[in-house]
Amino acid sequence: MSSHSIHFNISERKILLRIFDIVFTLALLYLVSTTFDFDYFTIAKENWTWVFVLTLYLSIFGTVFELYDLQKSSKLDKVIPSIILTVSVTVLFYFLTPIYTPFLPANRLQILYFYFAILSAIFIWRWAYITFIASPRFFKNALIIGETSNIEYIINAFKDADPNYNIVGFIDCEDKQSNSVKFSGITEYPSNELYTIIKEKNISEIVVATYNSEAITSDIYYDLITLLESGFSIKEYTQVYEEMTLRVPVQFVGKDFYKYFPFSRNNQNKMYLFFHRFFDIMISLLGVLIGLVILPFILLGNLIGNRGALFYVQERVGKNGKTFKMVKYRTMIKNAEKGGAVWAKKNDSRITAFGKFLRHSRLDEIPQFINILKNDMSLIGPRPERPYFVRELSLILPFYETRHIIKPGLTGWAQVKTRYGSSVDDSLVKLQYDLFYIKHRGFFLDINILIKTLTTLFYFRGQ
């Protein structure tokens, strides 16, 4: 048996990043206040609101500017822009809320102390994180036991989800061995060397990836039982897949589908649904008001850039498969689908110059606040699709109709986690995210989606 190395799971690393961002920030601010002529921000019992507000702003804006994205956080050149943006906006908002924060000091030099203390603190901590915790010595080494048909997809999904999850090898579990897997960066090992591999490669976890558990040979089966009884971590690949990628791997779910879909109680929780609808109405009213304010600019841009009807009405599929008329600002040329429905794609030639601006800024979605007020849609949920594509995708993708058990949304988990879908493969990924949302729906996930939607708006990632 291997002596397990120290490693941190995804959730642990995200918590670690948040906690030590705050710890390093407060520690350096305290050091500055005791070393220099700096009394704008002091840590004391009577000033607890100052600390709370600063912590809250760091957490919110750090999420918006992707400071806690593990892919970015593992590379210093990628995370530096996020650090600068987070600190700059945090400090700006902190200065603009003097009801809960200290008033601006007469000595403006203290503002610089405050800003550079926070910037330096987070930079020092993130350098330490990348140097020590995000280094190979803290990687989780995993071994996959499964069928060769699954291996490439699983490896790519795990690699994209967590840069610190290192799949070091693969064992084919089937009695009838197929050709050795040819995949760059991974070695196939014989099944009779399982214990040797665990020891030599310092394996921390085994992932069993098979469509049919009956296909596992008896020797591997008894080896796995022995390892499990000794306390070794053995997980089923759909469980690991969902934990790491935050989406449900529907393409691997078979006749025992009911094991994978214990949908969130909030789908039937009257209190949750009441507040969900209440916030839908409040935010939609605000959205309509903002839409009316900027409507003259949209009209002018449409007149110059689109030269046609401002609004575009399209039939979409809503809750329980019922169709409704969804309203958007028009972003494409006239008669864009003369030959029938087609996928919208990246750099689509049918999209006008002004239409690109509307899509990237998500301003084309503003009229959908009317759909939300009419109760056709919700603020958060799976994006509504057109009936033609629903019929086509339902024949190809398992459980596609399941996404219609809740109201479609203006934004959603799939929208903030992936880019615009222009193929069946893209639709599969979006479906995985949609089902994850339905499975784990709740206030905290909704808030997370709203914050990540701000990230989409800020980085101009609308499609």
State the CB neighbour count (10 A cutoff) for residue 319.
17
**Rounded to an integer, what distance in angstroms lies between the CA atom of residue 123 and that of residue 72?**
14
Give the CA count within 13 Å in the CB-facing half-sphere of 430.
Answer: 22
Q: What is the pLDDT of residues 1-47, one digit of tens each?
A: 444 556 777 778 889 999 999 999 999 999 998 888 888 888 888 88
pLDDT for res 2 = 47
Q: Does the pLDDT of residue 176 top 80, yes or no?
A: no
State the CB neighbour count (10 A cutoff) for residue 274.
10
Work out the percent of the chain whose per-residue pLDDT is above 70.
Answer: 89
Work out the percent of the chain whose per-residue pLDDT is above 90.
Answer: 40
- Residues with Cβ within 8 Å of residue 307, at least 6 apart in sequence: none
pLDDT for res 411 = 94
Helix (H) / strand (E) element for 270: namely helix 270-301
**Rounded to an integer, what distance in angstroms lies between the CA atom of residue 322 and that of residue 341?**
19
Q: Which two tokens stand for residue 251?
A: 């393409």
pLDDT for res 30 = 92
Region 334-346: mean pLDDT is 64
Domains in the chain (CATH in brackets) are 10-133 (no CATH), 139-245 (3.40.50.10700), 265-334+348-458 (no CATH)
> How far lies 15's CA from each of 86, 332, 440, in Å?
17, 43, 19
Pairing status of strand 323-329 against strand 311-317: antiparallel
* More confidently predicted of 380 and 221: 380
State the CB neighbour count (10 A cutoff) for residue 112.
11
Nearest partner of 204 among 242, 162, 234, 175, judged by Cα? 234
Strand partners, 209: 146
Q: What's phi and psi for 4, nearest 5 deg?
A: -60, 130
pTM over 0.85: no
Inter-residue contact 187 to 170 (CB < 8 Å) = yes
Region 265-273: mean pLDDT is 89
Inter-residue contact 433 to 246 (CB < 8 Å) = yes
Q: Does the pLDDT of residue 252 top 60, yes or no?
A: yes
Region 433-450: mean pLDDT is 93
- Residues with Cβ within 8 Å of residue 238, at least 6 apart in sequence: 249, 252, 253, 260
Give helix then strand counts, H and E, for the chain.
16, 9
Q: What is the pLDDT of residues 58-110, one digit of tens each?
A: 999 999 898 998 888 888 999 999 999 999 999 999 988 888 888 887 788 88
Q: Does the pLDDT of residue 239 top 60, yes or no?
A: yes
**Rounded to an integer, what distance in angstroms lies between the CA atom of residue 170 and that of residue 461?**
37
Nearest partner of 88 among 63, 57, 43, 66, judged by Cα? 57
pLDDT for res 177 = 56
**Rounded to an integer, what distance in angstroms lies between the CA atom of residue 314 and that of residue 68?**
37
Q: Does the pLDDT of residue 404 top 80, yes or no?
A: yes
**Rounded to an integer, what distance in angstroms lies between the CA atom of residue 60 and that of residue 49?**
16
Q: Does the pLDDT of residue 195 top 80, yes or no?
A: yes
Burial class of residue 80 in the structure, from the number of CB atoms within 10 Å of its CB (0-12 exposed, 13-18 middle, 19+ buried): middle
Nearest partner of 149 among 237, 267, 274, judged by Cα? 237
Q: What's phi and psi for 82, nearest 5 deg?
A: -65, -40
- Tracing tokens 């603009």 back to the chain, one arrives at 96
**Rounded to an integer, what distance in angstroms lies between the CA atom of residue 67 and that of residue 70?**
8
Per-state percent for the chain, helix, strand, coil, to nearest 5: 55, 10, 30
Nearest partner of 380 among 393, 391, 365, judged by Cα? 365
Region 261-265: mean pLDDT is 80
Region 308-322: mean pLDDT is 91
